Structure 1
Amino acid sequence: MSRRGWILFGAMCVVWGIPYLLIKVAVREIGPAELVFLRTAVGALLLLPVALARRELRASLRPWLPLLAYTIVEIGLPWLLLSDAERHADSSFTGLVIAGVPLVAAVIARFGPGAERLTALRVAGLLIGLAGVALLLGFHATGTGPRPLIELVGVVICYAAGPLIIERWLSDVPRYGVAAASLVVGALLFAPVAVPSLPSLARHATLRPLLAALALAVICTALAFVLFFALVAEVGGVRATVITFVNPAVAVVLGALVLGEEVTVLTGAAFALILAGSVLATRHPAPAKELATAS
């Protein structure tokens, strides 16, 4: 990759590795629905001018039904479940569970349109990754409780399914338009629940959770979309997805350093298994020409 590509890659690894820390801080005083509303509303305010300047918003609204489905599956539901789960689970643990997204995506892709064949290597990767997830969940189940675990599994499924909606129904829609429109729709969906409680939130919430919510909206949502689209344009979509394998490590380090969360040998072993399994399960076979050259 170019120097610009490496800079964007490093920035994205951090920007999408810190949301778990920020959510953990924010939900101490801000409810899950209110947090999702603040994140989507502020993110929409920042991205809408970009989408309008690029004349991408109108095109993104035409396939309104897939856009609504994408908003619910990729933004509304997982962000709500994630925020509620972090009221009871450590941010580092949450980040490690989300590392299982490529595993679920590989399984879903097997049964979706243009299904990819599950090779022996991919099956081995799925089994290794699932072993890591099982180790992680088993180690934390007693202290966390079943509800956040179920919610995090829901988040993983949603994050794995969201890109498939993009691929099948929104692949020709401009990316900034989809990002801005989905954030607007997300804010509208949560407004009836969140807006009435905002005056009370403004009176009683302390500065730290409010700043965490603001950083979540500005850095991890609006700026993250801009950086990610620049990264895709610079290095391609396949290479850009490698950030998925690095973000959990950032979440673990920040959780330990900032919040004093416990990181054990079992946690490291579980992450290693999930990472190895995800790499193998999502690995594309080399083209015949490359195989011939390599031999």
Structure 2
Amino acid sequence: MNVIELITLAAVWGASFLFMRVATPELGPIPLIALRVGIAALVLLPFMRSAVARGQFRAKVGHLLVVGLTNSAIPFCLLAYSTLSVNAGMDSILNATTPLWAALIASIGFQVSMGRQQIFGLLIGFLGVIVLVRDTLVAGISGVPLAIGAALVATLFYGFAVNYSKRYLAGVQPFVVAFGSQFFASIVLVPLALWLWPARSISVSTWGCVAALGIVCTGFAYVLFFRLVENVGAAYAASVTFLIPVFGIIWGASFLGERITPMMFAGGAIVLLGTAITSGKISWRLFQRA
């Protein structure tokens, strides 16, 4: 059952890149993400019924605001922007660099020592990024370098949010963090979304993508993720990172006709290998013996 839930979560989060790829051109990154986090906050609101949850929310308002900005508002908008020029499959692979940034930021900004295995994993992972984006950058397509940069900056923010949450939100109920991050992301983004709202009418298919992003890919996904954390632990739940790119590529190829290139496959494999080494899923001693 846990394996099925993990695969379902990966499929759902992988689909978020597909939905952003479809909806962003019509709505724009900020209006789309404002709707996404606003809907997700409503989905998660029932978890705030207990007095304990509400008390923790009030006690950690400032820290929840920071996490809302760095784990939702900013990175979601950056990833949505990147889908204007980068396909869903590549975006989902770039998203998998989050553990690499998390380890680097933990060492630089949060005084967490980094071992040789983590350094080795970081080098492998960032080599994978170079392999992944090389052909795309060499092609010289307008907007692509900025889109790739936006996706990587988004994962940098994710990496910061991971470390910030560990330090300042330890002991807070996970659903309080989930709701708080979506709530404060909504508060920040809604005024901007109203200002940037497109003048033309929005198609039914785009509204369908908005609903899927907010209800399924964010609200439901958070519920599923924290259910896994509760049942089998955070380490197991975090392994979803390695499955998301698989589904991101599958959905992009199946529904948008995106081409899977050899360099995309090779770069993605190297990125995931570096991530696995950095997070301790694979021991670097395997390479020493080789």
TM-score normalised per structure 1? 0.89
Aligned residues of 2:23 and 2:206 also touching (Cα < 8 A): yes
State which of 68, 71, 75 in structure 2 corresponds to 1:74: 71
1:150 lines up with 2:149 in the alignment: yes
User: What is the RMSD computed on CA atoms of the aligned residues?
Assistant: 1.9
2:122 matched to which residue of 1? 126
Q: Deviations over 1:44-80 (max 9, x none)?
A: 1111122225741331231222111111110110011
2:135 matched to which residue of 1? 139
Instruction: Give 3-state SS (helix, strand or coil) of 1:12's partner.
Output: helix
Q: Percent identity?
A: 28
Structure 1 residues 280 and 29 mapped into 2: Cα distance closer, same or farther (>3 Å)? same
Structure 1 residues 110 and 285 mapped into 2: Cα distance closer, same or farther (>3 Å)? farther
Aligned residues of 2:103 and 2:114 also touching (Cα < 8 A): no
Distance 1:265 1:158 in 2: 29
1:219 lines up with 2:216 in the alignment: yes
Aligned residues of 1:22 and 1:216 also touching (Cα < 8 A): yes
State which of 248, 263, 266 in structure 2 corresponds to 1:266: 263
Structure 1 residues 41 and 162 mapped into 2: Cα distance closer, same or farther (>3 Å)? same
Distance 2:58 2:95 in 1: 29
1:94 lines up with 2:91 in the alignment: yes
Shift of 1:176: 1.1
Aligned residues of 1:18 and 1:250 also touching (Cα < 8 A): yes
State which of 228, 238, 246 in structure 1 corresponds to 2:225: 228
1:1-295 to structure 2, matched below 5 A, reads 4-53=1-50, 55-113=52-110, 115-119=112-116, 121-141=117-137, 142-143=140-141, 144-195=143-194, 200=199, 204-283=201-280
Instruction: Give 3-state SS (helix, strand or coil) of 2:49's partner.
Output: helix
Residue type at the aligned position of 1:266:
M
Structure 1 residues 268 and 62 mapped into 2: Cα distance closer, same or farther (>3 Å)? same
Q: Deviations over 1:205-234 (max 9, x none)?
A: 111111001100000111011101100011
Distance 2:235 2:207 in 1: 35
Distance 2:15 2:51 in 1: 29
Give 5+ residue unaligned stretches, structure 2.
284-290
Aligned residues of 2:64 and 2:177 also touching (Cα < 8 A): yes
Q: Deviations over 1:153-185 (max 9, x none)?
A: 211101111111110000111111121122111
TM-score normalised per structure 2? 0.90
Higher mean displacement: 33-42 or 109-118: 109-118
Residue type at the aligned position of 1:130:
F
Give 5+ residue unaligned stretches, structure 1.
287-295
Instruction: Give 3-state SS (helix, strand or coil) of 1:269's partner.
Output: helix
Q: Deviations over 1:226-279 (max 9, x none)?
A: 101100011111111111011011101111111011111111111111111111
Q: Deviations over 1:105-139 (max 9, x none)?
A: 122222344613322x3332222211110011212
Residue type at the aligned position of 1:177:
V
Residue type at the aligned position of 2:194:
V
Instruction: Give 3-state SS (helix, strand or coil) of 1:28's partner.
Output: helix
Residue type at the aligned position of 1:100:
T
Distance 1:193 1:156 in 2: 22
